[in-house]
């Protein structure tokens, strides 16, 4: 697997994580529950577009960061995507 991240990918991931944190991570009063499922799945789909299938390790690590921000378990988000491009 190719673990080299291209500069445009790094920027896209940084922007995605920043936006996701702003909308799902820092909501006052929502710390005790996860962000809406549709938000985290939409972010995950964007990551699928950013990373190639050969960059699965980078994809997985970034999904883990999304899960930490959105208060989701990794397996709950990752298992919804057994194969790339499968609908949720």
- Is residue 48 domain-resident? yes
- Which ranges of the chain does DSSP label H, i.e. alpha helix? 7-20, 37-50, 56-70, 74-78
Q: Is the pLDDT assigned to residue 24 strictly greater than 90?
A: no
Alpha carbon distance 3, 39 (integer Å): 26
Task: Identify which has the larger pLDDT, 30 or 14.
Answer: 14
Alpha carbon distance 59, 51 (integer Å): 6
- Is residue 83 domain-resident? no
- Averaged pLDDT of the chain: 78
Structure tokens at 59: 């994809």
- 74 pLDDT tier (thresholds 50, 70, 90): confident
- Is residue 72 domain-resident? yes
How far is C-alpha 28 from the chain's CA centre?
21
- Contact in structure between 41 and 80 (CB atoms under 8 Å): yes
Number of domains in the chain: 1
- Mean per-residue pLDDT for 3-17? 89
User: Which domain, by its residues, includes 32?
Assistant: 7-78
- Is residue 20 domain-resident? yes
């Amino acid at each position: 697997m190719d673990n080299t991240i291209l500069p445009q990918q790094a920027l896209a991931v940084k922007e995605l994580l920043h936006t996701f944190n702003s909308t799902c991570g820092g909501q006052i009063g929502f710390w005790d529950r996860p962000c809406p499922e549709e938000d985290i799945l939409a972010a995950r789909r964007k990551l699928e577009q950013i990373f190639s299938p050969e960059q699965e390790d980078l994809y997985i690590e970034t999904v883990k960061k999304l899960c930490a921000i959105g208060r989701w378990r990794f397996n709950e988000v990752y298992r919804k995507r057994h194969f790339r491009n499968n609908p949720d």
